[in-house]
Chains A and B, each alone.
Chain A
Amino acid sequence: MSAWIVVIIAAPTILIALFVGLRSGFTQSKEGKMLAFVGLLILPVVCAGLGFQEQMTRAESTKFCLSCHVMTGYGKSLYVDDKSYIPAVHFQNIFVPRDHACYTCHTDYAMFGTARAKMRGMNHLLVQYFGTIPKPEDIKLYEPYNNRECLHCHLGARRFEEANPHLKSASILADVKANRLSCMSSKCHDTVHEVGSLKDATFWKENAQ
């Protein structure tokens, strides 16, 4: 939803609310009461609701996540020129939408997963503005990364199902799908953001010829 819809509704609402506030005598008439009801109750609630929805959508954007200084290294890690860096590979090859890269991998693809992700995001905001900000390399996931998030996209894909390393033994794919064998912590795809060692890395320059 575009922010313009909020602006288009909010602008006349402001005028009505201001008019009703400054000319309260007008509300003695039936038309005035109706105008006050719309301008001081219905439209403000609609505006706040649409604005909230817009803010929540914006909170899913990569730009939003990387606004905080502590996330700078994580943003840089998306441009590392090394195929072993899982986030970089996903970002550079558009396996995830670039404008929603953080959210796409760090939300939970389960019931109420979006709500949980939003609550975690709110917690991050509280820490950013009111808490003690940790060093970038000290930031850890709340719980081990669940294969469910990877399988949300990769499950059923030929490149995943028929990859040679996945077929080394009969149990690998079954264990991965059951989250018994982590995609990341089993020395398979265990290079992620690695923000502590980025100064030695080379970076991909987008649109470089």
Chain B
Amino acid sequence: MKARRSRVRRAGKVRRSEAGKTRRVENEWKRTCEGWVAETRIRDRAPQTSPSGIPLKSIYSPLDLEGFNYLEKLGFPGLYPFTRGVYPTMYRGRPWTIRLLSGFGTGEDANERFKFLFKEGETGLNLALDSPTIYGYDADDPRMRGEVGQGGASISSLEAIERIFADLPIGRLSTSIVTHFLGMPTFAMYVALADKLSIPRGELRGTTQNDPLWLFHVGNPPLPLKPSIKLAVDLQEFCLEQMPKWYGINVSGYHIREAGANAVQEAAFTLADATVFIDETLRRGWDIDKVAPQVSFFMNAHNDLFEEVAKFRAMRRFWAKILKEKYNAKKPRSLIFKFHTQTAGSALTAQEPMNNIVRATVHTLSAILGGTQSLHTDSYDEALGLPTEKSSRLALRTQHILLHESGVSHVIDPLGGSYYVEWLTDKIEEEIWRYFDRIDAAGGMLAYTEAGIPRKEINKTSYKTQLEIENGRLPIVGINLFRSKIENIEICRVKLEQENKEIEAVRRIRQIRDQRKADETLQEFKRACEKWENVTPTAIKAAKAYVTNGEMYQVFREVYGEGPHLE
């Protein structure tokens, strides 16, 4: 015992003296810098802060990580606090899921693109919906003219889902449905399809985004806040009961970032949003160790490689801590921050679109180095239109090349231990805690959202970023550096004929469905909404009777009212 103590003391002395030595050499380096600048007149022109505003130095050393406890801060992958990765073998065991967001035009178009992507090496489905579907209007609503099938697939009824997933083995594949707002009508239709195909619900693997909160931070929500949370949690609860392999809520930071938030705001608001859903599920009597494993996240990978990697690592550590310390979660599976990443569309430019291939590669790399579970790489034509087959194949190949050729997937958390990345990970985590203190002081994330604070902050950051691009402080090649014009490239556009097909399809369904059954199930659905019961079972019943997305949303609007118009 005695001998051991003295060894420790000796080690401490050695460390201290090494720190002193490092500091002395650092001072020497600083003097060298001054001499160098005086001699060469090469001044330090690098930005003084990270894009999130964290003050940066020009170099990091052990001096910036004094007192850094390896096991407390990092540990090993698959073990608390999961900074290095959520699974013990990470990509050595199984690579991330290659999941390209897709869906446009008619159901047949979406189906054909899915099959193409699979043939080309995609490993999970990722379905985008068009705006009318997200906002709860059917393809044949005259106000939707020109928007059907534009930014995603149009899903008016189960019939559309049947065409989109035709011949795809949904019992074996993992399907992500990016519903943007509520998961509900679309999810009910997907479950109805599985029931029809006799695939057990418990076997279905996938994710519904089903996070309405981000639309209160940016954009405009179709429904008021509280009913939106209720409906999202209804779906989550249904998954807890019947679909253990389905992530009922996928909390989205992606859109927050796309709307102009910085990395810290994206991280903090997303994690805080997740607590709203968890709190509501717990309020309904569920156990945290049942709830937490079925929550997942959807994040953005933007330009600043190291800040992005640090963000992902900080979020993992923060999530593990808050689940353990605040929510008293016991099971390791409850503590892990699992996330899908999409590369930043807003970082891509319409000018010189081929440059976007390089940008998306850096974004993709940050997600991989950050330990993502699933990944979409944007196509180079993202700023101009929908991806073509050619551009989406290239996006797939970007991931394939990084996975199979670059070696980045061979060693787990390869940036772990970098003085800079560890320091920045710590800083971002501190910033997230600071946000949580403010949010707690405001009475929680629901109150914070109702007060519109995230919204104001994001708008402010977005405007500041644009001004920095305008004055050249934030360099964007092809925009304010090496400026050039927009070239004409092949753009995938949805034509009105495709829209017409979807309009005809939903009109036909209204004619041929058993109307009495549709009316009855819709009434039953409405009663569940009015009583604030879990509406999922009645939504599935209605979906099976070919009740449409628009009809179900009409009920939501009648019962809960319209969403607020926010700026």
- Whether chains A and B associate is no
Binding site for B on A (CB under 8 A): none
Instruction: Show the binding face of B for A, using Cβ within 8 Å.
Output: none
